[in-house]
Amino acid sequence: MEDTFKSELETAQKIYDVMMEFLVNYSFQVVGAIIILILGWFAARWISAWVIRFCGRKEVDVTLAKFIGSTIYILVLTCFIIIALGKFGISVAPFVAALGALTLGAGLALQGPVSNYGAGFIIILTRPFVVGNTVSISGVSGIVEEVRLGMTMMRTEDDELIVVPNRHLIGEVLYNSFECKIVEDTVGIAYDSDTETVVSAVKSVLDKLDCVVEEPAPQVGIDNFGDSSINLGLRYWVPSKGYFEHKYKANAAVLKTLRELHVSIPFPQHEVRILP
């Protein structure tokens, strides 16, 4: 029992000696490292905030400004961590090599997400579209609500939220109609109608509608000749928000105009002959 107590006492004494030796030899290094880390944290935050404010004064995109600020924050803090490790005489070369290998592995594993962030960075720099534009790509169309580094958020006329990974927006054919969207329609009139009068009247009513934008101006003309009617082509632009509401309003106005002009809208007819 006495031997066990002495053994435990010697162990505790050794631990105490090691701790005291560590405090004597490295106390100033530990305090210095902690001070360096605190200063680095404050410096990284201050520099990052200053960069974001500077980008704001230069009217840089908010998403890009925050990305630059975050990147600078990480870089500055990393530099101070390396300096703090140097206080203990620790070589950072193995950490740099390990970080490089880890980055390579993560890049291969996260190739898809990384490509989304790269595409988002290109979108923010080149600005092929901005918030509020109506964008159509790969059969998807909507109003851009937010552009993030990894994805773009769009809203449809039915209030559906579409999330598009940014890599699908780069390298593809993209249609940007900005804040408006085109309406392309046809209406048939009888062959004995005065086409010049009808075209002029339809264009005039479209010009007067509040929901139809002035530029580009509405276009109305003979689109093709059908079997039973002359088909007039209508092309005009309306705000993307409320697209179908504006289209229905324009259709009602055009129909009312045709009825006021007593223009016949023929329908396809088939003549059936029964031979004896």
Predicted local distance difference test score (pLDDT) of residue 204: 92
Name the average pLDDT for the chain.
80
SS3 state of residue 193: coil
pLDDT of 103 higher than 90: no
Whether the Cβ atoms of residue 163 and residue 169 lie closer than 8 Å to each other: no
Count, residues in the chain: 276
H/E element holding 39? helix 2-57
Bigger pLDDT: 186 vs 56: 186
Name the helix (H) or strand (E) containing 89.
none
Say if 2-93 and 180-260 have the same CATH topology: no
- CATH class of the domain defined by 126-176: mainly beta
The closest of 177, 155, 170 to 123, measured between CA atoms, is: 170
pLDDT per residue as tens digits for the range 235-256: 999 988 888 889 999 999 999 9
φ, ψ of residue 175 in degrees (nearest 5): -105, 120
Query: What global pTM score does this model have?
Result: 0.56
SS3 content of the chain, % helix, strand, coil (to 5): 55, 20, 30
Indicate the pLDDT class of residue 109, thresholds 50, 70 and 90.
Answer: very low
Topology of 2-93 in CATH? Helix Hairpins (1.10.287)
Number of Cβ within 10 Å of residue 123's Cβ equals 22
CA distance 247 to 239: 10
Fold of the domain spanning 180-260 = Alpha-Beta Plaits (3.30.70)
In which residue are the tokens 């990974």 written?
A: 165
Q: Give the pLDDT score at 250.
A: 92
Mean local confidence (pLDDT), 50-72: 77
Alpha-helical runs (H) found in 110-230: 111-126, 195-208
| Rounded-to-integer distance, Cα 69 and Cα 54, Å | 10
Q: Provide φ and ψ at 203, rounded to 5°.
A: -65, -40
Q: Rounded to an integer, what distance in angstroms lies between the CA atom of residue 7 and that of residue 217?
A: 97
Are 116 and 166 in contact by the 8 Å Cβ rule? The answer is yes
Residue by residue, DSSP assigns 201-224 as: HHHHHHHH-TTS-SSSPPEEEEEE
Tokens of 266: 């023929």
* Residue extents of the structural domains in the chain: 2-93, 126-176, 180-260
In the predicted model, is pLDDT for residue 258 greater than 50?
Answer: yes
Which pLDDT value is given to residue 173? 80
pLDDT tens digits, one per residue of 155-182? 887 788 888 888 888 877 888 887 888 8
Nearest C-alpha neighbor of 169 from the set 137, 213, 215: 137
pLDDT band at 273 (very low <50, low <70, confident <90, very high): confident
Query: Is the confidence at residue 49, as pLDDT, over 80?
Result: yes
| 60: pLDDT strictly greater than 80 | no
Q: What is the mean pLDDT of residues 50-74?
A: 78
